[in-house]
Each structure stands twice: as C-alpha cells, then as structure tokens.
Amino acid sequence: MKNIAILGSTGSIGQQALEVIENNPDKFSVEVLTAYNNFELLIAQAKKYHPNVVVIGNEEKYGIVQESLASENIKVYAGVEALNQVVEMGSIDLVLTAMVGFAGLNPTINAIKSGKHIALANKETLVVAGELVQRLAIVNKVNILPVDSEHSAIFQCLAGEYMNPVEKVILTCSGGPFHAFDEKLIASITPEQALKHPCWEMGSKITIDSATLMNKGFEVIEAKWLFDLKPEQIEVVVHCQSIIHSMVQFCDGSIKAQLGLPDMRLPIQYAFSFPERICNSYPRLNFTDFPSLTFSPPKPNIFRNLALAYEALQKGGNLACILNAANEIAVEAFLKKKISFPNIWEVNERLMQNSTFIQNPSLEDYMATDREARAHALEIVGILEQKH
C-alpha cells in the first residue's frame, strides 16, 4: 500500500489521479490533498477519500474548509508555507506534484529533501531548476517518475535499456488546434478557440501552452534533465493523432515507441505502480480505428515558443526560469484578452533578451529571477495591451 500526497488535487491531473487510486484501493491510499483556490471541490474530495490532511493554499478559504470538515477527523491547514511543509510528513510514500507553474518548485524540493519519491506532473519544476532538483534527487536517493505522457513514454521505452546508448528521443506533439494555421490566421486567434484542444482534456494554462507549443518547449527542457540528454538529442515531431506518445532511437538506429489512446490515467497509474504494471479497464487502442498515423515537423518560425525553449536549454543558467515566469504572465494576459496570441511569445522573447542572466543560479537566485521576470513581464503586457 502506497500512501500518496496529491499536490493540486482539484486540477485535471489531480482528479484523474484520484480516479486511479479509487480503482486500486488495495494498492494506493490518499494521505494528503491540496488545492489553492478550489475549496468546494477540495472539500468534496476530502469527504470522499478521507485523507489524513488537506491544505488550502488560499488562507481566506481556511475557515470554510475547516468548518466543512470538522466532523471528518481530517487535519486542515492553510497557506503556501503549509503546502511546503505537508510533504515532509513521515506517512507519505509518494508525492504527486500536479500544481501548475512555478508554485510547484518549493514543495517538490522539500519533498525530495524529505526522501519522498516524486510523481512529477509539474514540468515547471525541472524547467526552472532542473540541475538543482536532479542533484537533490541523487543526494537523497529519490526517484523522479514522469507523469507527462511524453516523458512517461520515454521512461517506458528505456526500461531494460539503461546500458544501451541513446542516439535521440523523439517527443511527439499534437500540434494543438492551430498547427495548420499561417501567420495571418494566428494573429486573430481568440482564447475561446485556443482552449479547444483536439485530443486532451487539460486545464486552461496547459491548454494554451499546448496551442503555442510552449508546453512542448518545456517538455524538451524537462527531457534533458530527466534523461540526461543534450539539446541536439531531443527532436520534436507533430503527430496529430496523439497515439504514439514518444519514441527513443538507440545507437543502432532501432526505435522504440510507446502507444496508447490519449488518457492521462495511464501514465499516472504507471508512475504510482512502478516498477509494476497493474490491470485496468480503460479503453484499449484498436489499430483499425487509426489506419493512418501522420508525422510532420513543427513550425518554430511561426510558433516561436519552441525555438525559445531550445535557446534557453542551450544557454542554461536562469534563462528557462525567466522564460517560464514570462510565459505564465503572458498566458494569463491572453486569457483575459489583454494581448493577442502572438504577443505571448513576444513577451517571452523580450524577457529573455532583457533580463539579468545568471550562469550558475542558487535557489535564492531562481526565486529572485522569478519575481523580477514577472514584474518586467507585467510592464510589457501593459504596453502591448494599449496596442491590442
């Protein structure tokens, strides 16, 4: 029995993780649930799954959550510091980091320092501070198990192959809803259009990142740290059907691929159960339903975020932290219709060009970089909003 803490239980990944746990009550139990704002769903989840602890990040909602769970024998805490500390509980075996954005970094670091194995869905943790996080994982003998479908696919393809040289990994990309658009059409994209992903059901932030290819760019950076790769060993191909989740090409030229229907419960379950595979009743892939699987190159000249991610990966330091902070501000502004779709990568590029670069950042440097980049990004958004 693994006792699991879910950081971000009210999001898409968190909800599907609870479904995996519910389907396997003899293998997994819920020890901790956390959310930042969605107190109503957090309360409902707590009453259903009976965790030992819940944490609501927004301290203004603490009273409501505490009162609602007063008869449930569940400890209730609130605030960002509580989120950082709860992962240190001795009763936790595995921490699923499903929080969105930079907010997932500190809890993940604390969990690693406490010797907790990590099921990583918060890609920003490795994007922002991959070198630091991996170093801590090695020192504390902690496994970082990927939950992203692409990185889970690579992880599965590498099983039994760790002594064999990898030539490259191939990250597949749905292309989002606009992969066939030209620059004129892209300029007119609305938030409503961008939130309609053709394959995956995700939260608004990651859905927009998928549409701009920023999500794929972050996955490129994440793959470097998870699998100790050079930038030139990571290739991205657009695969609209989202059946092949990623591939590994070995030194002899042979390629392994992991396939399945688009269903995040599969990589979540694999991260929870590793190294075992456990049975489930999820829909199975029928090849006759997909007589044609297509592949094409991405368009980094149009979708600039992918090129920016490779640039951040090449230069290293705190540049990916700058890119992540800028992107979070830009996506929020786009969703609020303050800036256009192409303005998202314009904000990102301006920040990367004009922010203070630190080659060997400490954790404190990452924190300061994030604060400064967000403030600068807000200024740029204000300027672009006047033109929009």
Q: State residue 102's pLDDT score.
A: 82
Q: State residue 273's pLDDT score.
A: 97
Six token digits for residue 284:
């199975």
- Crossing angle, helix 341-354 and helix 304-315, to 10 degrees? 20
Alpha-carbon distance of 315 to 317, in angstroms, equals 7
Q: Do residues 58 and 27 lie in contact, with contact meaning Cβ atoms separated by under 8 Å?
A: no
SS3 125: helix
Q: Going residue by residue through the chain, which has 388 residues, state the pLDDT in tens, using 9 for 90 and above.
A: 999 999 999 999 999 999 999 999 999 999 999 999 999 999 999 999 999 999 999 999 999 999 999 999 999 999 999 999 999 999 999 999 998 888 889 999 999 999 999 999 988 899 989 999 999 999 999 999 999 999 999 999 999 998 999 999 999 998 777 777 777 788 888 888 888 866 666 678 888 998 899 999 999 999 999 999 999 999 999 998 999 999 999 999 999 999 999 999 999 999 999 999 999 999 999 999 999 999 999 987 788 999 999 999 999 999 999 999 999 999 999 999 999 999 999 999 999 999 999 999 999 999 999 999 999 999 999 999 887 6
SS3 118: strand
Q: State residue 185's pLDDT score.
A: 83
Q: Do residues 67 and 92 lie in contact, with contact meaning Cβ atoms separated by under 8 Å?
A: no
Pairing of strands 166-173, 234-238: parallel
Q: In what order do the strands lie in the sheet with 94-97?
A: 75-78, 53-56, 28-35, 2-7, 94-97, 117-120, 144-146
Six token digits for residue 23:
């389907």
Query: What is residue 296's DSSP assignment?
Result: B
**Exposed e or buried b per residue across 47-71, where buried means at least 16 C-beta atoms within 10 angstroms of its C-beta:** eebebbbbbbbeeebbeebbebbee
Pairing of strands 244-250, 75-78: unpaired
Q: Which residue from 271, 261, 285, 119 is spatially nearest to 200, judged by alpha carbons? A: 261
- Which amino acid is residue 353, in one-letter code? Q
Q: State residue 198's pLDDT score.
A: 66
Domains and CATH numbers, the chain: 2-146 (3.40.50.720), 148-187+215-299 (no CATH)
Alpha-carbon distance of 114 to 308, in angstroms, equals 34
Ramachandran class of 253: left when φ > 0, alpha when ψ lies in -120 to 50, beta otherwise: left
Rg (Cα) of the chain, in Å, rounded? 20
